[in-house]
């Protein structure tokens, strides 16, 4: 599998900004605003935690996909995209987590 799927999803999410909220789930999230998008991310995070705690591997995969999807919705809402995250991960690669956290202002 390629990670290109993130860019494909991002392109669809951009298109949904102009879609009818009555016929598009993503358009309805955009229409309801940032608080609704953030709430969905919180819900999906909690569901992933529960799946991880129960060690249900299929549920972990499913809930991670839901969390990543809704995170992509937030990125799009903020006019960001997957490449912004890839660049940040690349910047951090090879750096100790302790060092990286200490470098944040």
CATH 2.115.10.20: does it fit domain 4-92? no
Domain boundaries, given as residue ranges, for the chain: 4-92
Tens of pLDDT, residues 7-64: 999 999 999 999 999 999 999 999 999 999 999 999 999 999 999 999 999 999 999 9
Whole-model pTM? 0.88
Kindly give, in sequence order, each residue whose CB lies less than 8 Å from that of residue 29, ignoring residues fewer than 6 positions away. 36, 37, 40, 73
């Amino acid at each position: 599998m390629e990670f290109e799927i993130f860019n494909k999803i991002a392109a669809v999410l951009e298109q949904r900004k102009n879609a009818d909220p009555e016929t598009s789930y993503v358009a309805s999230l955009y229409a309801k605003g940032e608080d609704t998008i953030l709430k969905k991310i919180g819900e999906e995070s909690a569901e992933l935690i529960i799946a991880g705690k129960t060690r249900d591997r299929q549920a972990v995969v499913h809930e991670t996909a839901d969390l990543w999807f809704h995170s992509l919705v937030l990125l799009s809402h903020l006019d960001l995209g997957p490449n912004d995250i890839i660049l940040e991960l690349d910047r951090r690669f090879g750096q100790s987590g302790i060092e990286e956290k200490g470098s944040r202002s």
